[in-house]
Structure 1
Amino acid sequence: MGTLGIIVAIFFVVFLAMRGYSIVFIAPVASIIVIVTNGMNFFPSLIGNEASYMTGLTGFIINFFAVFLLGAILAQYIEKSGAAQSIAQKVLSITGTEKPFSVLIAIFVISAILTFGGISLFVVLFVIIPLAKPLFKQLNISWNLIVIPVFLGIGTFTMTMLPGTPSIQNVVPTNYLGTTVTAAPLIGIIATIVAIVVGVWYMKNALNKSLAKNEKFEASEDKDNQAVLKEDIPPFFLSILPILVLILIIFVGSALKVPNIVLMGLGAGVVVSAIGFHKYIPSHKQALSLGANGAINPIFFTAASVAFGVVITLAPGFKVISNLILGIPGNPLISLTIASSALGAITGSASGGLGIAMEAFAQSYLAMGVNPEAMHRISAIASAVFTGLPHSGAILSTFALTGLTHEKAFKYSFLSMTLPNLLALIAALIVGVLFY
């Protein structure tokens, strides 16, 4: 009965998420289903001070709020100053805007640079959409294709694979495994190469098929965007300087094993942005306030998923699921991969699924003697493999901002993340099993 209750709760999460309900509402209700069907003490398991839904929620916020806060403030500075626009225009000037594939490559590169610099999905979209739409219209490219370079840039190697990336998916395992954000560089670099090669191949293939079908930019897609291009923007080097400072601090600090190095890097990036972009920013108060407010929703969405996972791991019925996963034959990294990818798919969130996997299995795998660096990198990559499902927050947000629908663009969104992530994961597993 307990195990069945967990399965019912998981389906409940997926069902309501696909219908647009917030995970902040869904997660506690699903937790109640688990608590009731597993015969757990109701209020102690839901809002208790020790091991409960509420301690899972608050624990995640305590551990990671500073990362979300500083990342959101840095994103505001880079967006509001026009620095992101400056970076985008520089990349476009190098790749050119005359050929469809060049435009797609440029969008992919811009997305990757901004994401590796700690910039959020929303800022990347707000930069890219107003730049890309007139180019798509001018070249008469189907607007549906926009999701491929965007998701390839933000949802694959810069999210989980590249050593040093300040993404929350790369930070979460450090709290459970004692690793740094540059963990297992060999695995990360090989996975990155595979993801880029596969992703660019798929992007080229999808574009060729679209052109062969004579798909055009539809007039109905030419709607106004809320984002407006700025005229007075900082030069390229100044625009990218906060990102370079962030990356440099993370790599040097990780090599020296400095604790909380991601926070130091993000903090330094914010300071450099505030000073360097002073003449380009309309209001420091606005950037700081919008950044602070913008950190709230993402961390609560992720924390709610992780808290639901905490309740699951406390439930007696989870023992059956845990034993099944831990009992998968072969190298333990394989069973960890299955657990992380399944939880990422269930929650529709790589960070949420990874948080649950780490909470449930990290200590068990460490006790087996599994290399923590390999666990860090492979579980992070695995958590993102199947997050491009219809109920994914990233998918829903992107469609809302681009005006696309599941019918028109879901296939491209799913494949642009799943293919590169899956093949990169296979490569990562091979390297992890052979060398770690």
Structure 2
Amino acid sequence: MDILGIIGILLGILTVILFIVKKHNIIVAAPIATIVLLLFNDVPILESVFGKENSYMTFLAGFVASNFAIFLLGSILAKYMDVGGATVSIANRILSIVGTKNPYNALVALFIISAILTYGGINVFVIIFALVPMARPIFQQLNISWKLVIIPVFGGTTTFTMTMLPGAPSLHNIVPSTALGTTLTAAPLIGIVTSVAAIIFILVFMKIVLNRSLSKNEVFEDRFAAVESPTEQKRELPSFFISLLPIIVLLGTILIFSKVNYIIFIALIIAILLSAVLFRKQIKNQRELLSDGANESVGSTITTGSTIAFGSIATGVPAFKGIFSLIQSIPGPPILSLMVGTGIIGGITASAVGAIGISIANFVPYYLELGLDPETIHRAIAIGSVSLSIVPYSGFLLIFNRITGLTMKESFKNGFIAVCVTHWVAMAIVVIMAVMGLA
């Protein structure tokens, strides 16, 4: 086993975490951590960083090429919804329904909205671009701690609706289906039982954290309060229906024309054009709005791509084969080592989808030979892939912090529990069902 190489992988991870803790930009931290990792592995450093194939730069460029349009259009739509007053109008209606006396009801409402949008096939980055501005006025009127927003949003977008619930249209469910020849509803009993457990865990955790926050007299702190003037706050808001119409059109277009190529881009463009018309009275300078949305999307895309590129290099060095061997020797039912192994890869790459791809290529043949059912493997690697994906250099977490203004210290703990620990609960259930012969 290449001990020196494994030490290099660990030092690379520690380097990127240290940079993030010290508040350095991940765009700078990731390539430095990659070089640290490569120094301990017997591979050409310059070629691995700057080469034209399987290098840090090609992995980064590949992510940007595949995802920039999503970030750009999602960011612009979120700007229209926010600056046009639609988010405040929707928030006011939600508060009129759930009331202002019980903040927990508002958190549950955000959780349900997040879950519905994710299960409806909306990209999770699009959801947080649209949902966070809508959540701000709700938290402000309820005067509850803004750092709690991560629980309903992460709990609804990146747990049961993404990896467990049968039929989920997420890549986490599609990739194993394509590779194993299974359907999106693979292992429905496992999916339903784990989904119920996940929902219960998130709702209980959310209640506990809210009560603890209220007992400490924590109140709302708007990180962007200086942006709006008193005059701007009193502007005329669009009606609830008008405010919701771009989101309805976005969802409807994606769901009705789901088989059309590039439908998510088409739907986002339609929603943006509709917003430009509907909110034209509320928005004084649409050119400035488009510029701001575009500028924010560039940083968000490269931030996420940098974490993916680092993880791709880390799992591509020869020493990582030794980690595969250690993973396969984990005691207990085979399904346990499969989920833990996929989760470790997800933690290193900070990408659950990337972890699934690596796991399918390297683990699945071994577990199929052991006699595990393809449907069980499908559901197990989907659930396991997210079990360690919330790390300090996670692109999703970094983008969320950028949009909300939260610090890593404020968001990491609640985000980790809402996503990773929820998946640990699901993994435990999968193991129990396997031992009982139900999986």
Task: Give the superposition deviation at 1:339.
Answer: 3.3
In 2: Cα distance, 1:427 partner to 1:163 partner: 16
Is the partner of 1:94 in helix, strand or coil? helix
On the 8 A contact 2:175/2:356 being kept in 1, the answer is: no
1:184 corresponds to: 185
In 2: Cα distance, 1:164 partner to 1:288 partner: 35
In 1: Cα distance, 2:139 partner to 2:16 partner: 34
Residues 186-265 of structure 1 mapped to structure 2, 5 A cutoff: 186=188, 191-209=194-212, 214-217=215-218, 225-226=225-226, 228=228, 229=233, 231-254=235-258, 256=259, 258-265=260-267
| Correspondent of 2:35 among 25, 32, 35 | 32
On the 8 A contact 1:173/1:358 being kept in 2, the answer is: no
Is the partner of 2:225 in helix, strand or coil? coil
On the 8 A contact 2:311/2:348 being kept in 1, the answer is: no
2:21 corresponds to: 18
Provide, for residues 41-61 of structure 1, a one-character-per-residue CA deviation record: whole Å limited to 9, x for no partner: 222222111221122111222
Is the partner of 2:351 in helix, strand or coil? helix
Residues 336-415 of structure 1 mapped to structure 2, 5 A cutoff: 336-346=338-348, 352-365=350-363, 367=365, 378-388=380-390, 411-415=413-417
118-127 or 7-16, which deviates more? 118-127
1:75 corresponds to: 78
Amino acid at match of 2:128: L
1:152 corresponds to: 155
Amino acid at match of 2:236: D
52-61 or 290-299, which deviates more? 290-299
Q: Does 1:294 find its partner at 2:296?
A: yes
In 1: Cα distance, 2:227 partner to 2:422 partner: 30
Task: Give the superposition deviation at 1:320.
Answer: 0.9
Task: Give the superposition deviation at 1:191.
Answer: 4.4
**For this pair of structures, how many residues does the alignment match?**
419
1:321 corresponds to: 323
297-306 or 105-114, which deviates more? 105-114
1:52 corresponds to: 55
Unaligned runs of 5+ in 2: none
In 2: Cα distance, 1:222 partner to 1:286 partner: 23
Report % sequence identity: 37
409-418 or 365-374, which deviates more? 365-374
Q: Does 1:88 find its partner at 2:91?
A: yes
Is the partner of 1:324 in helix, strand or coil? helix
Task: Give the superposition deviation at 1:97.
Answer: 0.7
Task: Give the superposition deviation at 1:234.
Answer: 2.8
2:67 corresponds to: 64
2:311 corresponds to: 309
Amino acid at match of 2:87: A
Over aligned residues, Cα RMSD in angstroms? 4.1
In 1: Cα distance, 2:430 partner to 2:405 partner: 35
In 2: Cα distance, 1:355 partner to 1:409 partner: 22
Amino acid at match of 2:308: V
Amino acid at match of 2:84: S
Task: Give the superposition deviation at 1:95.
Answer: 0.6
Is the partner of 1:39 in helix, strand or coil? coil
In 1: Cα distance, 2:266 partner to 2:379 partner: 22
- After superposition, the Cα gap between the structure-2 partners of 1:416 and 1:5, relative to the gap in structure 1 and judged at 3 Å, is closer
TM-score by length of 1: 0.77
In 2: Cα distance, 1:242 partner to 1:153 partner: 21
In 2: Cα distance, 1:125 partner to 1:315 partner: 38
